[in-house]
Amino acid sequence: MKPGIDLQEIFIQSLRDFGLPPGVAKLIWMPLPMFLMIIGATFGVLVVVWLERKISAAAQQRIGPEFAGPLGVLQPVADGLKLVFKEDILPAKSDPWLFTLGPVLVVIPVFLSYLIVPFGQNLIITDLNVGIFWWIALSSIAPIGLLMSGYASNNKYSLLGGLRAAAQSISYEIPLALAVMAVAMMSNSLSTVDIVDQQASYGILSWNIWRQPVGFLIFWIAALAECERLPFDLPEAEEEIVAGYQTEYAGMKFGLFYIGSYVNLVLSALLFAVLYLGGWETPVPLELLGGWIGVSPDSPWLQVVDASLGITMTLLKAYFLIFLAVLLRWTLPRVRIDQLLNLGWKFLLPVGLANLLLTAALKLAFPVAFGG
């Protein structure tokens, strides 16, 4: 593992230099990473919403938002403020507790999953030894909130949307887990930091996308289905079931669904970059590049460049995947619900299982190439 800067120690030591006791300094530090994570994820959602509108407009040969701020960059902020001040409507015969709790159960697990996303060697909130398992476990909670929202709305379209969301999530969580297990098997770890470190040997040539081509396709398809992106947006298909489980929601409750959808898309893109595209690593290792230009690998200048490039590379890879997801929205037609379930259970599941078994066999046969 490459040496890096421990931000927690620097922050706590800075507070101690001001005369604060160590316990108080740690108490001040504890909520700070979570607060920064929520702010960063929310800002990422605003960027993605603006990008989706602009990319969608370009795909349809129109302009898109342009009046709210330069090039329309403030349009997502305006939409968010509109939702904040809209009336919160509670249907007459709905279950008020479940109706309110549903959106919360959808959003909170997604935000908690950001705890294990690394933007650099030490730019991670919590490097859990079971980080990937943590994410898979949390992702199984959101469908409960969707089903709860559809049931509590006392609306037939909402109930259909909730049932579709639960069925879709169950169908694609298993192939997604199988694809991730193959990567964890090669890395000998469930830690996202260890998975990135395992891809750092030869730059772009050691990224898992080359050693797991089937797994990365399964992960991408399953991630689109988990995020309910076209062509897999059956739980909220407007032409069929109005807006699905969101039909009876308004105001900030609807805003939570809206935020949760985009936060989940950003999370899936970040984890895709971490698992298959080398995370914060550059295509050419900086140590090798420093040798070409005559800079020592231990140079402080090279370490500063490495630290600043980490978050940039992670975000570039993630937003490239988001760009592809937006293009797919205007390229592929929506599939039927039976086609969706057949793809998950009859194709992705056996292919994912076969890929996992093949990875295990290759790991035994070629331990150096496959992380043995």
Average pLDDT of the chain?
Answer: 84
pTM: 0.88
Q: At 3, is the pLDDT very low, low, confident or very high (cuts 50, 70, 90)?
A: very low
**For residue 219, what pLDDT is reported?**
94
Residue 253: is its pLDDT beyond 50? yes
Of the candidates 210, 105, 212, which has an alpha carbon nearest to the alpha carbon of residue 150? 105
Distance CA(52)–CA(230), nearest Å, equals: 13
Residue 329: is its pLDDT beyond 50? yes
**For residue 302, what pLDDT is reported?**
58
| Burial category of 215 from C-beta neighbours within 10 Å (exposed 0-12, middle 13-18, buried 19 and up) | buried
Q: Mind listing the pLDDT tens digit for each residue in 22-41?
A: 777 777 777 777 788 888 88
| Burial category of 93 from C-beta neighbours within 10 Å (exposed 0-12, middle 13-18, buried 19 and up) | exposed
Distance CA(282)–CA(275), nearest Å, equals: 14
CB 120 within 8 Å of CB 94: no
**For residue 4, what pLDDT is reported?**
45
Q: What percent of the chain has pLDDT over 70?
A: 90
Mean local confidence (pLDDT), 164-171: 88
Contacts of 301 (CB under 8 A, 6+ apart): 295
Of the candidates 220, 224, 132, which has an alpha carbon nearest to the alpha carbon of residue 180? 132
